[in-house]
């Protein structure tokens, strides 16, 4: 039996985490939730995940978006990073993508669109694994 891809969810808001966790679970993924970047890093860094993704709120306390992407990429370079942002501008989105994020999505986001973007990111990362 194949294992379900892990989706690592990072957001400071518990309600958003619960909502995304339920969405990804119903879609057949293994969602793991984190409110704290450091807890997420401790969880993913020692493991060698070959399938899955990181979905993170781009607005982390006192952290530039590109720094967030660089930290996540360094901890687990094989997983694509999808950033969600309630407030953003084109420059921030471009900077995030140049730093290594695979997708940058403005919130609120329709569930179907989020699932499609995650599936696309995972499929693309598998091509280059």
Q: Which fold has domain 6-127?
A: Rossmann fold (3.40.50)
For residue 45, give both structure tokens.
């860094």
- Between these two residues, 121 and 129, which has the higher pLDDT value? 121
- pLDDT of 52-91, one tens digit each? 999 999 987 678 888 999 999 998 888 999 999 988 788 8
- pLDDT of 99-127, one tens digit each? 999 999 999 999 999 999 999 999 988 87
The pLDDT assigned to 1 comes to 40
* Integer Cα distance of 6 and 30 in angstroms: 5
* Integer Cα distance of 40 and 101 in angstroms: 17
Q: What is the pTM of this model?
A: 0.92
């Amino acid at each position: 039996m194949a294992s379900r891809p892990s989706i690592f969810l990072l957001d400071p808001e518990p309600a958003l985490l619960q909502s995304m966790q339920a969405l990804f679970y119903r879609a057949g993924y293994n969602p793991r939730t984190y409110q704290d970047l450091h807890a997420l890093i401790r969880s993913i860094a020692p493991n060698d995940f070959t399938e899955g993704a990181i979905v993170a709120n781009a607005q982390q306390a006192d952290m530039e978006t590109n720094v967030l992407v660089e930290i996540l990429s360094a901890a687990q370079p094989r997983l694509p990073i999808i950033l969600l942002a309630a407030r953003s501008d084109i420059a921030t989105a471009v900077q995030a993508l140049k730093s290594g994020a695979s997708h940058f999505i403005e919130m609120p986001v329709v569930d179907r669109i989020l699932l499609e973007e995650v599936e696309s990111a995972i499929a693309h990362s598998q091509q280059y694994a």
